[in-house]
Structure 1
Amino acid sequence: MELKLKLEQLHQRVSGLKDQINTEEATKNAFVMPFIQILGYDIFNPTEVVPEYVCDIGTKKGEKVDYVIRKNEEPILIIECKHWKENVDAHNSQLHRYYHVSKARFGVLTNGIIYNFYTDLEKTNIMDEKPFLTVNIEDLKDSSIKILESFTKNEYNLETILDSAEAFKYIKAIRKEFENEIENPSDEMVKLLVNRFFDKPLTANRMVSFKEYTKKALTISINESISYRLKSALSINEKIETKVDEKVNLIDENNGLPKVITTVEELEAFQIVKAILREKITAERIAHRDTQSYFGVLLDDNNRKPICRFHFNSTNKYLEIFHKGKDAGEKTLLNNLDEIYNHRSELHQTVEKYSS
């Protein structure tokens, strides 16, 4: 996906530069303008990308939104920017005012890292309180990128976006509620499930117990489903015996939970390594496997071709790279995930070694 690749490259740029970006104006120039360019719009054409667009509000004259994107001489998107350290959710009232007086159907509030897309699904010409789409450059989701493609210059279609915006908005809301139920099951959820097989009264004490049972049951079910899919994918290109020691669905007999649980931090580290390796090889050749002792990144999904491993299961976090050979992993202490970018050359050397 070309758009995803460009966004991953922007992520690398943001990670490498953000500590040097000290103003809102610098955020716009370094992060937001490249994002607009990735969508296919000509940032150097003032009739297509209009900076400091006047949005007079009642008696307040001279109010300006940072950018307006025009297509066929009509505004289609207004963009309000903040410094990358600011919380964009705290400024949606400002975008709300601009949206009300503009003719654009979509508004974006961004700090150069998080892009919140708004429209008027609830009331015509009044911006919704919550965004229907959020694109996080540091945590790219395929589902979000698919919607974002509809905003590119070549693919923009108002009806298509509006048709999908409502579905995407409510799917996201339902997913959030479901995730909340997994983390902290409500009385309603527990009663819904338990009353189907438990015919005794749910006393307060039993409710406490069944909440814990429900949380554990949902967690196990989801993790086993993910583990099954991973194991099925991993079994395609290698013999099963090479993976016996790396099964991801082992259950701890003491607490009934999977022994191997892939963390968000491990997946974020994998995305960073993947973005680095995409400079040398295609995404299809970059695979990962999680084990009890480490999270491994492999070339061609082959455990005889390790690229690196993440040792994140202790207080100190280490990156192990195999640029000196598959039996000569070299560990480096990581203070934060961004330091992985400091090892770009070693990661490139590793994949080049397997190809030589």
Structure 2
Amino acid sequence: MEIAERAQALALKIRKHKAGIETEEATKNAFVMPFISTVLGYDVFNPAEVIPEFTADVGTKKGEKIDYAIVHDGQVQVLIEVKKINDPLRIEHASQLFRYFAVTNARIAILTNGEVYEFYTDLDAPNRMDSKPFLVLNFSDVDETLLPELAKLAKDSFNLESVISAAGELKYIGQLKRVLAAQFKQPEDEWVRFLTTRVYDGSFTQRVRDQFVPLVDKAMRQFLNEQVNDRLKNALGGPDAYVSVSADAPDLSAAQPAPAAPAGEAPRDVTTTEEELDGYRIVRAVVCSEVPAARVVGRDTKTYFGVLLDDNNRKPIARLWFNRSQKYLGVFDENKVETRIPIQSTEDIYQHADHLRTAVRRHLGRAAAAVEPNAGASPVPLQA
């Protein structure tokens, strides 16, 4: 199982159970230990890999304990301090991490409440833990661009030097993204002033500020939407890129699909490629936030690789049209009408995660807002 699938499985568990977790100890058992074992791959019951209640005397501080120390190649490499789920993380919570960081070999310190994980190192001064994290991973909304960096701390792919070398860039990119996200959510006066003075020649008075606050907010949202739409148009090759077809209609590009095979297997006369399996794994990882991975089944045919909920043809999640020069990802609306979206690689599937999750929610009978691909572009029905 890839790290993306493992992370999504933990995210689903957190979403289901965090309301019932009320203590720090319960947070450790329910979420942090699975993070260490399932996501990172360490044996939490092997003291040669994971040391709970790790103790190292620090100056006059005797007997203080860190919740977990992760050992790799016989050396303590990662320190983890845990707070109760739903408690906001503050740097004041990390006083023991600061002290232990200076007297152990650890180069990575993690402060977590079981849902949000803040990763620290010593970029600013050697052997002194930074006051700001270089990476923040939130399991309520997993940023999959960060998972390759997380994988470098996993037992089977541990690469500390690579993590440290990337930490500086990650630190500032992460902070900039959070600043921008905050401004898009609610522009601050300084941000409004900065933009207003670029387009308005008069004095920036309170009246002008009140006038421009909604304008700045509207302009930023329109700009973001336009950028997304432009990139989609370029990637999809123009306004005729989308093709829609009913999920229940016969495939018009070839003869009838091959007979169904047992779950996860292809019919004898169908060749399942590694690329199709990669695409299937990505779809399964994405929708693990909604259902257990075991319920997401792949079924290959002569013309496409189908991904179904509960191995049921009436519950399509996606179709992978990879048996051609131009690859397509097929997604479905509430009427089971398929929209084929051109993609360049299997990784592009992540860009359409909302469509996949929405399809699963519909099959589960959950209320979910429909997600329209490339708002403003009209899908083109496939003609018989």
Query: Is TM (by shorter chain) over 0.5?
Result: yes
Once the two structures are superposed, the pairs formed by residues 42-53 of structure 1 within 5 Å of their partners are 42-53=43-54
Structure 2 residue aligned with 1:305: 336
Q: Which residue of 2 aligns with 1:326?
A: none
1:86 matched to 2:78? The reply is no
1:1-356 to 2 correspondence within 5 Å? 2-37=2-37, 38-89=39-90, 91-185=93-187, 189-190=191-192, 193-194=195-196, 198-199=200-201, 202-229=204-231, 238-239=242-243, 275-276=290-291, 278-279=293-294, 280-281=296-297, 299=318, 300-303=330-333, 304-305=335-336, 321-322=362-363
Following TM superposition, by how much is the alpha carbon of 1:302 offset from its aligned partner in structure 2, in angstroms?
Answer: 3.4
Partner amino acid, structure 1, of 2:148: K
Cα separation, partners in 2 of 1:223 and 1:126, compared to 1, 3 Å: same
The 2-side partners of 1:193 and 1:207 are apart by 11
The letter of the residue matching 1:302 is F
C-alpha displacement of 1:213: 2.2
Residue 167 (structure 1) shift: 0.6
Query: 1:59, 1:100 → 2: CA distance?
Result: 14
Q: CA deviation at 1:277?
A: 6.7
1:103-156 deviations in Å (ceiling 9; x for gaps):
201111122222111111122222112211122222111122122111112322
| Aligned residue identity for 2:33 | M
Q: Report the AA paired with residue 276 of structure 1.
A: V
How many matched pairs? Answer: 280
Once residues 80 and 272 of structure 1 are traced to their aligned partners in structure 2, the CA distance between those partners, rounded to angstroms, is 30
Correspondence for 1:313 = none
Task: Provide the C-alpha distance between the structure 2 equivalents of 1:60 and 1:201, rounded to a whole number of angstroms.
Answer: 57
Contact conserved, 1:57 with 1:101, CA < 8 A, in 2? yes
The residue identity in structure 1 corresponding to 2:15 is: S
TM-score, reference length from structure 2: 0.61
Could you tell me which amino acid in structure 1 is paired with residue 362 of structure 2?
Answer: I
Higher relative contact order (CA 8 A, sep 6+): 2
Change (3 A) 1:205 1:95: same
Distance 1:159 1:12, change over 3 A: same
Counterpart-to-counterpart distance in 1, 2:200 and 2:21: 59
Gap runs ≥5 in structure 2: 247-284, 299-304, 309-315, 319-329, 339-353, 355-359, 369-384
Shift in alpha-carbon separation, 1:29–1:177, aligned structure 2, 3 A: closer
Which residue identity lines up with residue 157 of structure 2 in the other structure?
E
Distance 1:143 1:320 in 2: 24
CA contact (8 A) 1:121 1:166 kept: yes
CA RMSD of aligned residues (A): 3.7
Aligned counterparts of 1:121 and 1:40: Cα–Cα separation in 2: 26
User: How far off is 1:64 after superposition?
Assistant: 1.4
Distance 1:240 1:194, change over 3 A: farther
Q: Does structure 1 retain, via aligned residues, the 8 Å contact 2:80–2:111?
A: yes
What is the deviation of 1:33?
Answer: 1.7
Cα separation, partners in 2 of 1:241 and 1:205, compared to 1, 3 Å: farther
| Percent of aligned pairs sharing the same letter | 35
SS of structure 2 residue aligned to 1:301: strand
